[in-house]
Amino acid sequence: MKTEKAYKLLSIQEGISNRSAKDLIDKGVVYVGNKKVKIARADMKIDTKFKIKKIEKIKKIFEDDNIVAVDKPAFLTSEEVAKKLKYPLLNRLDKETSGVVLLYKSEDFREKAIEEFKKHRVLKEYVAWVEGRIAEEIEINSPILTLKNKKGKAYSKISHEGKEAITFIEPILIEGNKSKIKATIKTGRTHQIRVHLKSIGHPIIGDEQYGGKPAHRIMLHSSKIKLLEYEFISNEPETFENP
């Protein structure tokens, strides 16, 4: 049977441009049956039928003259959120991580906020589903070194050459051989929670880059940020309840 590139077949099926089809595959929302299509240029049978999972809308949590807080859905980049709302970012989340993203509206506020981040006075809480059973609190204090691969994509690892990184882990729920945990970070290194959890043998479910088993998304959610006099909370999305 004849084959064609996945993104080209998706383009024909959905009546969209090749670029839009490739973008959907790169976002991680295109499936064949229950299997995620990971490579846009993969050869597939021409009669392949695709399913596209819906990306939730950006939800505004709060806005005033200084700041905009939003609930970022999984599969959107933080940069896409900033472009849509037309304000610059104060913090970023990975594409498949959902939850609180902050944008600033004045340079004066940005300077104050950056100082808080530098002095580790910003509270950042996350919820994650991880592999294995975590039944007690854990403090992970391992330096993280961030590098880039040949394609320019960032990845991190534990290294004595890295920067200080501290993560506090608290158990929430144990279900079979997986655990739901709260992670609080004092520092904000690239992929910090993901790398730290891998380092203790409990990778995040769905985080294949750092050893996690496949899932419909990386099961990591930014649930709370406290910055200066502000506190923002994002409830877990429905898709987060079933890793």
Reply yes or no on whether the pLDDT at 1 is more than 80. no
Q: 187-205 pLDDT, tens per residue?
A: 899 999 999 999 999 999 9
At 190 the pLDDT is: 95
Token readout for 227 is 């910055």
pLDDT of residue 243 exceeding 80, the answer is no
Is residue 242 over pLDDT 80? no
Domain boundary among 37, 52, 67: 52
The one-letter amino acid code at 169 reads I
| 18 and 105 assigned to the same domain | no
Question: At 60, is the pLDDT very low, low, confident or very high (cuts 50, 70, 90)?
Answer: very high
pLDDT value, residue 240: 85
In tens, the pLDDT along 101-110 reads 999 999 999 9
Task: Give the 3-state secondary structure of residue 210.
Answer: helix
How many CA atoms lie within 13 Å of 237's alpha carbon, on the beta-carbon side? 24
pLDDT band at 238 (very low <50, low <70, confident <90, very high): confident
Report the percentage of the chain scoring pLDDT > 70.
100
Structural domain span for residue 8: 3-52
Q: What is the pLDDT of residues 151-185, one digit of tens each?
A: 788 999 999 999 999 999 999 999 999 999 999 99
225 and 151 housed in the same domain: yes
Total domains in the chain come to 2
| Amino acid of residue 173 | L
Question: Which CATH number is 227's domain given?
Answer: 3.30.2350.10
Neighbours of 63 (CB within 10 A): 14
* Residues with catalytic function: 94
Same domain, yes or no, for 231 and 138?
A: yes
Model confidence pLDDT, tens digit, residues 63-101:
999 999 999 999 999 999 999 999 999 999 999 999 999
Q: Tell me which residue of 88, 95, 100 sits closest to 62, measured CA to CA.
A: 100
pLDDT for 241:
80
